[in-house]
A and B are shown apart, each in its own frame.
Chain A
Amino acid sequence: MNIYSYTFRRLLYVIPVVLGVSLIIFVLFNLVAGDPTAILLGKHASASQMAELRHELGLDRPWLAQYFDVVRSAFTFDFGRSWSTKQEIFEMIKAGAIPSLTLSFPAFFLSTVLAIIVSLFVSFYRGGVVDRLVVFVCVALMSISSLAYILFGQWFLAYYLGLFEISGYESGFPYFIPYVLLPIIIWMVLSVGPDVRFYRTVVLDEIYQDYVRTARSKGLSERVILFKHVLKNAMIPIITYVLIKIPFLILGALLLESFFSIPGLGSITLNAINGSDFPVIKAMTILSSIAYILFSVFTDVMYCLVDPRVRLK
């Protein structure tokens, strides 16, 4: 079996998984969550008002029909309109995706590359002063709350020193850059600690393998050993770690977006949760589930490309 038919088959398996996820979402939102009209209309609504609204929102239809709505939206991305703003949800998501990506993509990419390079570097000097110092700094960075970085960045760097914009967003290249710089830096500071520690462990696991000794006995330089032999073996856990994080980028950086008033998917999601805007929450849940499923397929396909021991059966 080649890689294409394997990918195709794995994508077919996505369909039943999406049906299952839709069922869970339907049960959670339509059955467990209770009657949303009570929240929307407040305490003093009359029974007839509630029934009217329930009809308007299609909540009085049979459960099966409502379930099919969820399934249909998972495949067509037609999520209906927001209860609070009455906007098309798909349009809202499209508008929110760009600010989110201008923050999350560069931040994620830069922090991943930085962490891999740092971890290769410290693995090369394993056990030495540099290695110990980097691990100490990583643990220290991880131990501080993200709120501390945000408040320090906004008050000291942005307000007091005036290095960055405190908050807000302007769309269009290059206008958004000053607004996303500080959140990107904070993102990198937040993720570099755990990332370096993880990649360092992965690389060190490989560095003591017998094939590294063989490579040395062949006369290869440490640089070639590290970047060719070790890195290709280390790619397997690294791919898992990196790809499994990408679906969470879809949700946007909830905390950073709301602190920096970036109108991204994270803000949309938070606003929807605060306003009990069920269709929007549902849409974000469905989208991130689908992203998660697709990326796990993508991860498996990547394994096949990187590791010859993974058999296509």
Chain B
Amino acid sequence: MADKILDVKDLVVQFNTDRGVVTAVDGVSLEVFKGRTLGIVGESGSGKSVTALAIMRLIPHPPGIIKNGVVKFRGESLLDKEMVDMRKIRGNKISMIFQEPMTSLNPVFTIGNQIEEVLELHQSDLSKEQRHKKAVEMLSLVGIPSPEKRIKEYPHQLSGGMRQRVMIAISLACEPDILIADEPTTALDVTIQAQILELMKKLQKELGMGIIMITHDLGVVAETCDDVAVMYCGKIVEQGTADHIFNNPRHPYTKGLLESIPSFDATTGDAKDRLPTIEGMVPSLFELPEGCSFQDRCSKCISQCRQPQEVLALKEVATGHAVSCFNHY
């Protein structure tokens, strides 16, 4: 397969709270390949964002702590790096865009200033003029009209979609190997959403970076991802190519998610049919049941699922397709 640039193994992230220790990410393993997009799908609180922040080592500490695991970027262990060296990777080799385009830019600096800042930090051989030129180039690359003029503007003068484009420009300015996109389109309306995803796909082709696309929107996954990891309560419950996940889902949770997508299929669509949902609620991370975390919402639950297990390990059911469920081994 293609060039593996990021290898995450058995990542465990915990938070110390007043109510006790919470394991937000529990033994997650991921791989990211050059030029491919890995989607991490899951509900709020499933540990998607925490996984991404842990890769960047941006987990606020205290209260968060990376308890266990290995994060290897091009063979180098990121978790063993000194902070000084880690900062040379952030924004340079691995960069990140966030869910909140409205607030993710600093309101009191011009967008040009904020793009040039990351260049100044990581490409110190560039002169001031070169940095400015590069910033203008980046703005036109992400499709901002009249970049020469826009570069002097402040974030509040731009719309949400434009701000997210600026964020992408900042994150790609140093041509990173990996772009982590944490729900990049959630706060945007649907047309802008499509434009941003299209832009990311186009830039991926041009620059060849690997993307981690974190989302709860299976539509976004279908549109952009090559590989998918489905997360539930801090664990990956199913992992495979997009084809595996969409056409041959094996975990009851993945199936449930796919069934609850509204469809506009005119031949089978019936107005009286109610949209299927996954019954119940995500259990609190403080009160996870023993055994499979999904047991209380699962229609296929058998007694084995409620037995305490060391690890309900992901098992390969086909090449490159793994599921952590007793029913579908």
Chain A residues with CB under 8 Å of chain B are 127, 209-211, 213-221, 229, 232-233, 306-309
Find residues 169-209 in chain B having any chain A CB closer than 8 Å to their own CB.
170-171
Instruction: Judge if B329 is at the interface, Cβ distance under 8 Å.
Output: no
- With A209-B103, A233-B107 in contact, do A217 and B90 touch (Cβ < 8 Å)? yes
- With A220-B121, A308-B108, A309-B156 in contact, do A210 and B100 touch (Cβ < 8 Å)? yes
Contact of A233 among B89, B100, B108 (CB under 8 A): B108
Instruction: Judge if B38 is at the interface, Cβ distance under 8 Å.
Output: no
Minimum CB distance partner of B118 in chain A:
A218
Instruction: Count how many chain B residues have C-beta atoms less than 8 Å from C-beta atoms of the other chain.
Output: 30
User: CA of A215 to CA of B105 in the docked complex: distance in angstroms?
Assistant: 9
The smallest C-beta distance from B152 to any residue of chain A, in angstroms, reads: 10
* Contact digits for B86-107, partner A, Cβ 8 Å, 1 yes 0 no: 0111111001101010011111
The smallest C-beta distance from A97 to any residue of chain B, in angstroms, reads: 36
Known interface pairs A215-B106, A217-B58, A219-B121; 7 further A-B residue pairs with C-beta atoms within 8 A, sorted by A's residue number: A209-B103, A216-B90, A218-B118, A218-B170, A220-B117, A309-B154, A309-B156
Q: Which residues of A contact B91 (CB under 8 A)?
A: 217-220
Q: Which of A209, A210, A309 has the most CB of B within 10 A?
A: A210
- With A210-B98, A211-B106, A213-B104 in contact, do A308 and B156 touch (Cβ < 8 Å)? yes
**In the bound complex, do residue B96 and residue A217 qualify as a contact, i.e. CB atoms below 8 Å apart?**
yes
* Contact digits for B108-121, partner A, Cβ 8 Å, 1 yes 0 no: 11100000011001
The smallest C-beta distance from A113 to any residue of chain B, in angstroms, reads: 21
The smallest C-beta distance from A177 to any residue of chain B, in angstroms, reads: 39
- With A211-B105, A308-B108 in contact, do A216 and B92 touch (Cβ < 8 Å)? no
Contact of B90 among A211, A218, A233, A308 (CB under 8 A): A218
- With A218-B95, A219-B90, A220-B121 in contact, do A229 and B154 touch (Cβ < 8 Å)? no
Instruction: Judge if B56 is at the interface, Cβ distance under 8 Å.
Output: yes
Minimum CB distance partner of B62 in chain A:
A127
Instruction: Judge if B122 is at the interface, Cβ distance under 8 Å.
Output: yes
Q: Which residues of A contact B32 (CB under 8 A)?
A: none
Q: Which residues of A contact B87 (CB under 8 A)?
A: 219-221
The smallest C-beta distance from A109 to any residue of chain B, in angstroms, reads: 24
**In the bound complex, do residue A213 and residue B58 qualify as a contact, i.e. CB atoms below 8 Å apart?**
yes
Minimum CB distance partner of A212 in chain B:
B106
User: CA of A232 to CA of B108 in the docked complex: distance in angstroms?
Assistant: 7
Minimum CB distance partner of B107 in chain A:
A309
Contact of A214 among B88, B106, B108, B154 (CB under 8 A): B106
The smallest C-beta distance from B188 to any residue of chain A, in angstroms, reads: 15
Q: Which residues of A contact B62 (CB under 8 A)?
A: 127
**In the bound complex, do residue B106 and residue A233 qualify as a contact, i.e. CB atoms below 8 Å apart?**
yes
Q: Which residues of B contact A309 (CB under 8 A)?
A: 107, 154, 156
Q: Which residues of B contact A308 (CB under 8 A)?
A: 107-108, 110, 154, 156
User: CA of A218 to CA of B105 in the docked complex: distance in angstroms?
Assistant: 11
- With A214-B98, A308-B154 in contact, do A219 and B118 touch (Cβ < 8 Å)? yes
Q: Which residues of A contact B167 (CB under 8 A)?
A: 214
Minimum CB distance partner of A211 in chain B:
B106
Q: Which residues of B contact A229 (CB under 8 A)?
A: 106, 109
Q: Which residues of A contact B100 (CB under 8 A)?
A: 210
Q: Which residues of B contact A209 (CB under 8 A)?
A: 103
**In the bound complex, do residue A219 and residue B92 qualify as a contact, i.e. CB atoms below 8 Å apart?**
yes
**In the bound complex, do residue A213 and residue B108 qualify as a contact, i.e. CB atoms below 8 Å apart?**
no
**In the bound complex, do residue B122 and residue A219 qualify as a contact, i.e. CB atoms below 8 Å apart?**
yes
* Contact digits for B41-57, partner A, Cβ 8 Å, 1 yes 0 no: 00000000000000010
